[in-house]
Amino acid sequence: MTHLDYEELLLPIERYWLEKGYPPTRRVLLGLWGVKSLASVTYRLFRMAERGLVRIDNGRVIPVKLLNKIWYLLEE
């Protein structure tokens, strides 16, 4: 997968967080991404974390870009 593909995987995560108010778990991502195994979700998440796109905190997936927006709004 390329960097752009990983950024496309961020869109459902950000949309879920904005709608529900909290980040999705890996099991939720299983349905959002339409993949068949939790191992596939975990592999993609760790690849995204290596690239600095997400942070995994207590099983929750936090997009770094969205996190930066929240910190910016809190500082104002």
Chain centroid, CA 68 distance in Å: 13
Helix (H, G, I), strand (E, B) or coil at 14: helix
15-68 pLDDT per residue, tens: 898 899 888 888 899 898 888 899 998 898 889 888 888 888 877 787 887 666
Domain containing 50: what range?
Answer: 3-75
d(CA 31, CA 51): 23
Helix (H, G, I), strand (E, B) or coil at 61: strand
Domain total of the chain: 1
Q: Which residues contact 27 (CB under 8 A, 6 or more apart)?
A: 38
- Residue 20 is part of a domain; what is its CATH number? 1.10.10.10
Using CA atoms in the order 76, 24, 42, 36, what is the torsion angle rounded to 10 degrees?
Answer: -150
For the whole prediction, is pTM greater than 0.85? no
